Amino acid sequence: MTSTDQYLRDRYGSPEGKNRLLWLGGAIAGLLIAIWLISQAVAITSPQAHSDVLGSTVNSDSSITVRYNVTSDLDATVRCTVRAFNENSIEVGVNEVETTIETQPTTVEVELMTTQRAARGDVTDCIVLK
């Protein structure tokens, strides 16, 4: 005759396999959380660059001048993407501009060639190169 515990294990299966899956799932979830935390810590400690558009002047149907301030660590080289848009908010010109930060903030003025008359200029995606 078998014991009650053995009878229940034979009839319903051992709960040990389920515990193993829970431990494995928990370990994988913990590993993913640890990877995410490490990536966030690296992103926070990376040098940052910020830009503020001061204004833009339409020079002609084929060019616009965009003025902006960029802020980052002194002596850092920053690359910003400068874009020109027409009155329908369609991009009509783009250029990447590298600037060495010498003062806080550093004012940059860049002339963009456009495919048609631009209505405004904008600065996006400023990153620190070194």
Number of domain units in the chain: 2
Tell me, yes or no, whether 28 and 70 share the same domain.
Answer: no
Tell me, yes or no, whether 35 and 95 share the same domain.
Answer: no
pTM: 0.65
| pLDDT tens by residue, 77-115 | 999 999 999 999 999 999 999 999 998 899 999 999 999
Residue 20 pairs with which residues in a beta bridge? Answer: none
Tell me, yes or no, whether 98 and 114 share the same domain.
Answer: yes
| pLDDT tens by residue, 52-63 | 999 999 999 999
Last residue of a domain, one of 13, 30, 45: 45
Query: What is the predicted pLDDT for the residue at 90?
Result: 96
Residue 94: CB atoms within 10 Å: 14
Tell me, yes or no, whether 17 and 59 share the same domain.
Answer: no
Tell me, yes or no, whether 107 and 91 share the same domain.
Answer: yes
Cβ atoms of 128 and 78 closer than 8 Å: yes
Give the neighbor-by-neighbor strand order of the sheet with 77-85. Answer: 91-100, 77-85, 120-128
Tell me, yes or no, whether 59 and 82 share the same domain.
Answer: yes
